[in-house]
Chains A and B, each alone.
Chain A
Amino acid sequence: MNALEIERVSRDFTTPAGGVYRAIDEISLAVPGGAFVAIVGPSGCGKSTLLNVVAGLLPPSSGMVRVAGETLTGLNRHATYMFQQDALLPWKTVRDNVALGLTLAGAARADAHSRADAWLERVGLAEFASHYPAQLSGGMRKRAAMAQNWILDRGIVLMDEPFSALDVHTRQRMETELLALWEGRSPERLALRDHTTAGARAFQASDQRKTIVFVTHDLEEAIALADDVVILSAGPAARVVAQHQVALARPRDLMELRTTPEFVDLYRRIWAVLRQEVIKSQQDAEARR
């Protein structure tokens, strides 16, 4: 069963000059439950617009999104969203931030906190529970954001270039931790020690692998993480130009993966398609200038 079905979705914006700008044009895409799909395209191609439509933050101008078979109206309650920018509330501690989704749903404070603590343990931030986001490094803030998303245990996680602001090495570590979370492994240094605690309880629900839609402009990242790589054309009026399966075995060792012949071969083939769109978008940008 498909977790997400995007059917001929277009989205228009009104420009300041009064014209109409079509960001995405009749995009159709089906995402099977439990799949990791990466959406790649040149910058400004409407990837984020598509993700916002799927999240229900933006209504489509035409077309529809179906979530678990039902047409989406309003916010997508089956999904959480990890943003490119920091979205932790700066005035709440890390613990309160991670617990936020539970608190909003009316969970008791003690319960929300114990489940948040279990997640903080899992992402390696136990010592920083009482810190404020401003006191954390960029990578730590991303881990807290992952915990904030995962704690709600919704079936779909939307990610909009979540790691693009990090340096290369931190980024690779975050990618590894993301895959570990998704595959239901605890990052090795954080194996669950005590299964009788709230920790075990917090993770029981997440047997089912989540469906991830991961937007990035970085093809390497897309191939390294995803089962499926969807290429969007250069905007405006972006469309799906290609869809590639990534048949690399899991679990993947991201430290080594990028130099394996399979990876390089796949990269070369997909890049041949993406390259043209990138060139087009650069030419458009030059022309506008």
Chain B
Amino acid sequence: MNQSRAVVLAAQVAVGAAFIAIWQTLVSLKILDPFFVSRPSDIGARIAQWSATGTLWAHLATTLEESLLGLLAGAVLGVSLGFLLARSPFLARVLDPYIKMLNAVPRVVLAPLFLLWFGLGIWSKVALAVTLVFFVMFFNTYQGVRDASRVLIDNVRMLGATERQLVRHVLVPSALTWIFSSLQTSLGFAMVGAVVGEYLGATRGLGYVIAQAEGTFDTTGVFAGMTVLGIVVVIVSAVVSRFEGWLLNWKKT
């Protein structure tokens, strides 16, 4: 088990290194034009420069703040509505077409509206992140509660559970596994929401940095922004899965 994990890690590093090496070589040999795809060494240097001057941290902090707020608000709203509708089949049937309709709205279309409503600051980005996170959380919670095992419910009721105890001891834990499995996806969506929002109109954040770089045909800046974003997502996902493993440790055999 440990050995295979080490092998996987080594292979992961090798894939990344090979990709960067090929990219660097192709650009050095002038097969690829550095104007369009930049150069890994330049990108690395740019990130180092950003982090040295501190601009990186300020922008990153803004993006993370927006993402986390969006994730939190979207999760609270999605989980609550998911629970409500799962417990009330009538309401679920009434609202079903509307929820599907709203979920079908392309978020990029909403971004200008949110800018208008909530301004250039962080709240328009938080709102965009919420619209993405909400549906993932909602559908998973709804499914999780509906999927709770009939036998577990019957058993707990026979043992004397009230409706509230049933929710607490069976439905919530049962939905938690679904909610957590959607947390990784939701986190990615929250960051997408924040960055797209920043990209379309902001004064701070990684999306703003990327948009600025694009405006001056600075491909190195664009790639540097994307790289930072990617690294951050990997790190945050690792933290989330740690947390998940800790909360769902009853699943281990």
Please give the residue numbers on chain A whose beta carbons come within 8 Å of chain B beta carbons, in ascending order. Answer: 55, 57, 75-77, 79-81, 83, 85-87, 89-93, 100-101, 104-105, 132-135, 148, 152
Contacts and interface: CB of A to CB of B under 8 A. Distances in A.
Contacts of A135: 252-253
Contacts of A76: 158
Interface residues of B, number: 23
B253 A80 contact: no
Interface string B171-215: 001001000000000000000000000000000000000000000
A91 B250 contact: yes
Contacts of A85: 149, 151
Interface string B233-253: 000000000000000111111
A127 B202 CA distance: 60
Contacts of B152: 87, 89
B43 interface: no
A270 B155 CA distance: 32
Contacts of B151: 83, 85-87
A108 B158 CA distance: 20
B161 A87 contact: no
B253 A152 contact: no
The 4 closest A-B pairs by CB, nearest first: A87-B155, A101-B159, A132-B250, A81-B158
Given A90-B250, A91-B250, 16 more contacts: A57-B157, A76-B158, A80-B159, A81-B154, A81-B158, A83-B154, A100-B169, A104-B160, A104-B162, A104-B165, A133-B250, A134-B250, A134-B251, A134-B252, A135-B252, A152-B159
B250 A80 contact: no
A76 to B, nearest CB: 8
Main secondary structure, interface of B, reads helix
Interface of B: 149, 151-152, 154-162, 165, 169-170, 173, 176, 248-253
Nearest to A145: B155
B158 A75 contact: yes
Nearest to B154: A57
A51 to B, nearest CB: 11
B160 to A, nearest CB: 5
Nearest to B249: A132
20 contacts: A57-B158, A76-B158, A77-B160, A80-B159, A86-B151, A87-B154, A87-B155, A90-B251, A91-B173, A92-B169, A92-B250, A93-B250, A100-B169, A101-B160, A104-B156, A104-B159, A104-B160, A104-B162, A135-B253, A152-B159
B69 to A, nearest CB: 29
Contacts of B157: 57, 75
A130 to B, nearest CB: 11
Given A89-B169, A91-B173, A91-B250, A83 B155 contact: yes
A213 to B, nearest CB: 13
B154 A89 contact: no
Contacts of B250: 90-93, 132-134
A148 B161 CA distance: 14
A105 B165 CA distance: 10
B155 A81 contact: yes
Contact of B170 (A57, A77, A89): A89
Nearest to B165: A104
A100 B166 CA distance: 12
A152 B154 contact: no
